[in-house]
Amino acid sequence: MPYKLFFCSFFVPLPRKDVNEESMYMKKLYIIGMLCLCAGLMSCGGGGEQKEKVNEQTYQPTETSEIGEFEMQESSAEGSATVNRAEYRYRIHRKPSRQLPLVKDEQGNRFVDNVIEMEISRGDGKQVASKRFTKRDFASHVDAKFLSNSILEGLVFDRVVDGRLRFAASVCYPQTDLFVPLCILVGTDGSIRVEKGSVLEESIPGGGE
């Protein structure tokens, strides 16, 4: 069942792009962070650690040459967080992939899906976890009909909870405010667990049936 508002931003319809998508992105980022926070407080009672030294950068749009096709900007973010007094560094890289099936909306527009690479290492450089995500990695948490018509939109670091790094992710209908929020928990031992964020009782046509 989808929720509204988060991550659906920075699509590049050639030869122009929408101008209000960045504000929508920030609103969604806030909402999904709060959803993950509520889920974390309910499941583990919260955590005392805090993130620090976060540095994010969004790269220039990568344009498509196909008329009627849209893709998001390639983007990268990196930063660090402290878990039990030890520093952990993360790097997240999102890029459109034409190796994945295109997604079509009701108007016939075609959208390139994304892959997201996540790497986490200790302060001394030793790798803790490395994962390449596509939307199929979240199939057990997203309705099949919604998944087939959606893209993997984004993944960002949220905070440290109960000794684990928590990331917020979103699978969404392209260029809409319908999305499914997801939380990714990464342990200091490299374990990765996906949880579905809490959502309101809203659904798309045909969703939740």
Instruction: Enumerate the domain spans of the chain.
Output: 3-196
Predicted TM-score (pTM) of this structure: 0.71
Q: Residue 197: which pLDDT band, with cuts at 50, 70 and 90?
A: confident
Q: Are 183 and 195 in contact (CB under 8 A)?
A: yes
**pLDDT at residue number 141:** 95
- Round the average pLDDT of the chain to a whole number and report it: 75
Instruction: Answer yes or no: are the C-beta atoms of 73 and 63 closer than 8 Å.
Output: no
Which range has highest mean pLDDT (29-43, 46-60, 137-151)?
137-151
Q: How confident is the model at residue 176 (pLDDT cuts 50, 70, 90)?
A: confident
CA distances in angstroms from 117 to 24, 77, 138, 139, listed in the order given: 23, 11, 14, 18
**Assigned CATH class of 3-196:** mainly beta
Percentage of the chain exceeding pLDDT 70: 62
pLDDT (0 to 100) of residue 175: 86
Q: DSSP code of 68? A: T
Q: What is the per-residue pLDDT for 77?
A: 94
